[in-house]
Amino acid sequence: MDNLEIQSNDCLLIIDVQNDFCAAGSLAVPDAEAILPFINHLSSQFGTVVLTQDWHPAGHSSFASQHAGKQPFEAIMLPYGEQTLWPDHCVQGSTGSAFHPELQTDSSQLIIRKGFRHDIDSYSAFYENDHTTTTGLSGYLRARAVNRVICVGLALDYCVRFSAIDARREGFEALVLEKGCRGIDLNRSNETARQAMREAGVSLI
């Protein structure tokens, strides 16, 4: 693959490739299925592969349906800061929360579920949106002597963005392979995300 030589202490982090973020899902990311062949080809080449799964209880606080008078994609203030509101999505155990049926999951060793606390959303694979509550992923990666985290998945401008930036914050090198990502792109958020990632020292390939 262009510009990337896979090393033994790399981790491939495959973010939220779930039905609800794909066509016919409740929070469909444009062109999401296009990333599947690329990700499947990549994952067979890494010694460490971690999947994340957005995993909300019904009635989660990030759902617009829980806030009177609010519509999806509006923002509100929660105790930990600003939170964008979403359509109900990735409810634990629902079809929408399952991995896309064409995602090859056999070569992964760990699934990090996130967003399972009713009152806190979690975009990043490392920290919930309060930027304090950890998912435990850094400890796992350190214990496996990982030093580079290579990110792909959905959505570029939310969960991929915050995961890659937190990987840097945790002292890992972080790369985002754009060919393996698609964004929601609310108010040009794809470009905002690219800028924020570059400023944090994430390499975009």
Binding part of the chain for Zn ion, among 39-47, 53-61, 75-83, 128-136 by CB under 5 A, reads: 53-61
ω before 155 within 30° of 0 (cis)? Answer: yes
CB of 21 to ligand VGL, least distance (A): 6
User: Can you tell me the distance from the alpha carbon of 109 to that of 117, in angstroms, rounded to the nearest whole number?
Assistant: 23
**Applying CB under 6 A, which of residues 10, 13, 16, 175 lies at the interface with ligand VGL?**
16
CA 21-25-26 angle, 5° bins: 95
What length does the chain have? 205
Asked about 114 being catalytic, the answer comes back as yes
Asked about 22 being catalytic, the answer comes back as no
**Applying CB under 6 A, which of residues 146, 158, 167, 172 lies at the interface with ligand VGL?**
158
User: Can you tell me the distance from the alpha carbon of 108 to that of 58, in angstroms, rounded to the nearest whole number?
Assistant: 27
User: Can you tell me the distance from the alpha carbon of 43 to that of 6, in angstroms, rounded to the nearest whole number?
Assistant: 11
99 interface partner picked from Zn ion, ligand VGL, none, CB below 5 to 8 A per type: none
166 binds ligand VGL (CB under 6 A): no
Give the DSSP letter of residue 122. -
Asked about 159 being catalytic, the answer comes back as yes
**Applying CB under 6 A, which of residues 46, 55, 63, 86 lies at the interface with ligand VGL?**
86
Q: Which residues bind ligand VGL (CB under 6 A)?
A: 16, 21, 54, 86, 123, 154-155, 158-159
